[in-house]
Amino acid sequence: MGTLEKFAEAMDELVAMDPSQLADPETVLELQRRRDQYDAVVTRAVAAFDASGEWRASRSRSAGDWLAWKTNMAKATAARQVQLGRAVREMPVAEEAWLAGEIGSCHVAQLARAAKNRTAEAFTRDEKLLVDDAKTLSYQGFYRVMKYWLQHADPDGAEDQAQSKRDRRGFDFSRTFDDMFVGDLTLDPITGTIVSNELNRLERQLFQSDWAEAKERLGREPGVWDLARTPRQRRADALMEMAIRSRTAPANGRRPEPLFTILVGYETFAGPICELANRVVVTPGTLVPWLDQAWVERVVFESRSRVTDVGVTQRLFGGGTRRAVEVRDQQCFHDTCEEPAESCQIDHIDPYGAGGPTTVANGQVACGFHNRDRQRRT
């Protein structure tokens, strides 16, 4: 029996099984790993088919077009598969890890993007390191590493890309039928962070007042469905509130708080760090227009756990201790959770009630969910 026949037979058996027979953690992980391997096999086969030129007999423009025609998949999806197959031929370490089911197609696509043109040589040098990161880091962590790597390998390209992001910013906002207003907003990472920080802050205030109103009205703890406004409506009202405050702010009003935070690190301990507090990686050039402004909070790391310089310590959450924990941990302590520190609380590792001190060493970032989860279990 040929290999594919054996595979088809095994697959038919799996298809006939009840999903609950495959539902234990080991089996779920094994299935995922096999799927990654299978993706690698299919993608490599597609690339070999592409190279063979057999698709030309049908007068298709490309192997991707042929594939889309025969399988009814989207042309763009088919074209991406062909490209990924071609790219993986130039990435032997990534190819091996993919075939072993240690990384998935998302990782390979991300690596392929980094292996292009100007960075091809640096990629060949660093491929093993990057693939190791793909195997071990969370996807978000890996994504950040790739961003930093690209900045390092091709600083000009990274700055060009950052500039093109800034150039794409725009806000269409106009009156339309029935005198309604419709908008469509695109912002670059820094502009977007500034706007979203303030919008979130106002939304939280409106949420609290909606919550208090519902509690008063019902005489019990409300659920989110009891609130007078939907999240969309609250965001719209928060935007209007921004307009009102802007209109009524004194012209010489002081800007009391930083608009955003930059984390700056030393390459010696954790690789370069240049990102906003919401964990968006930015290029050094992006920051230049902001460097002389008083409303940037700058946090410099001396080592992974030690913050040497917090630009404006008194503004957030009652003090530098809290801020130091936030910038050290950056996200919720729980392994499965990537909630950024800005929307988290600071938790005592040794509970305060049991004598745990309120120090940086005894603090950790915890999102609302994991903070409550921990308290329930202690």
Instruction: Give me the residues that bind Zn ion (CB under 5 A), please.
Output: 332, 334, 337, 339, 367, 370
User: Considering the complex, what minimum distance in angstroms separates the CB of residue 364 from Zn ion?
Assistant: 11
User: Considering the complex, what minimum distance in angstroms separates the CB of residue 347 from Zn ion?
Assistant: 10
Q: Identify which of residues 94 and 277 has a Cβ nearer to Zn ion in the complex.
A: 277
Q: Identify which of residues 165 and 370 has a Cβ nearer to Zn ion in the complex.
A: 370
Q: Identify which of residues 327 and 332 has a Cβ nearer to Zn ion in the complex.
A: 332
User: Considering the complex, what minimum distance in angstroms separates the CB of residue 348 from Zn ion?
Assistant: 16
Torsion of CA 69, 74, 79, 81, to 10 degrees: -100
Q: Which residues pair with 298 in a beta bridge?
A: 262
Q: Identify which of residues 78 and 341 has a Cβ nearer to Zn ion in the complex.
A: 341
Closest by CA to 299, choosing from 256, 262, 326, is 262
Q: Identify which of residues 194 and 337 has a Cβ nearer to Zn ion in the complex.
A: 337
Structure tokens at 89: 């031929």
Most distant CA pair in the chain, distance: 83
User: Considering the complex, what minimum distance in angstroms separates the CB of residue 327 from Zn ion?
Assistant: 17
User: Considering the complex, what minimum distance in angstroms separates the CB of residue 192 from Zn ion?
Assistant: 23
Structure tokens at 36: 């990654």
Q: Identify which of residues 103 and 365 has a Cβ nearer to Zn ion in the complex.
A: 365
| Residue 277: C-alpha distances to residues 84, 87, 193, 304, 333 (Å) | 33, 34, 9, 15, 16
The single-letter DSSP state of residue 281 is B
User: Considering the complex, what minimum distance in angstroms separates the CB of residue 221 from Zn ion?
Assistant: 22
Q: Give SS3 for 285.
A: helix
What whole-number distance in Å separates Cα of residue 136 and Cα of residue 82? 27
Q: Identify which of residues 309 and 373 has a Cβ nearer to Zn ion in the complex.
A: 373
Half-sphere exposure of 223 (CA within 13 A, CB side): 1
Helices (H), 25-182: 25-52, 63-71, 75-88, 92-99, 105-114, 120-136, 139-153, 155-167
User: Considering the complex, what minimum distance in angstroms separates the CB of residue 370 from Zn ion?
Assistant: 4
What angle (nearest 5°) sits at the alpha carbon of residue 63, between those of residues 58 and 69?
A: 65
Cβ 311 vs Cβ 264: under 8 Å:
no
